[in-house]
């Protein structure tokens, strides 16, 4: 063994042993919560995996809700002003949406209503 490798192993060996001991201890403590009567209960592990999957699905739905709100609020403000401020109260005039913006707003509103209807049917 040459002197350089001896120095490297002398320095790294305690560090690596400590890191592995910490990692193994953490794994042991993580496994302890699944033990029943001294043995690992695999149904508890399967239940935890299922919970993680459900949380992932909820997060997907939450992101979709944020997108709906992000696209829906500007249109709500625009159509609210057109209907309440301009027509009902008669206090002004708002230019109509034209071109691609009009098409996009129609698609967004259609998606919001259709998605709400589909989700309501899916809950039944």
What is the full per-residue pLDDT of the chain (124 aa) written as tens digits? 577 676 667 767 776 677 666 665 555 566 666 666 666 667 777 777 788 888 877 777 777 778 888 888 988 898 889 888 888 888 888 888 888 988 988 888 888 888 878 878 887 7
pTM of the complete model beyond 0.75: no
Domain assignment of residue 98, yes or no: yes
Domain assignment of residue 23, yes or no: no
Domain assignment of residue 37, yes or no: no
Domain assignment of residue 19, yes or no: no
Domain assignment of residue 54, yes or no: no
Domain assignment of residue 29, yes or no: no
- Separation of CA 43 from chain center: 26
CA distance 86 to 74: 17
């Amino acid at each position: 063994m040459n002197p350089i490798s001896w120095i490297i192993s002398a320095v790294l060996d305690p560090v690596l042993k400590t890191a592995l001991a910490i990692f193994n201890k953490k794994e042991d403590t993580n496994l302890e919560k699944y033990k029943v009567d001294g043995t690992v209960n695999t149904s508890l592990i399967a239940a935890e995996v299922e919970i993680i999957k459900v949380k992932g699905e909820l997060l997907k739905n939450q992101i979709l809700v944020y997108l709906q709100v992000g696209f829906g609020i500007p249109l709500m403000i625009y159509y609210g002003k057109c209907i309440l401020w301009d027509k009902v109260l008669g206090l002004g005039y708002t230019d109509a949406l034209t071109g691609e913006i009009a098409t996009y707003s129609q698609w967004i509103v259609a998606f919001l209503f259709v998605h709400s209807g589909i989700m309501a049917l899916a809950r039944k």
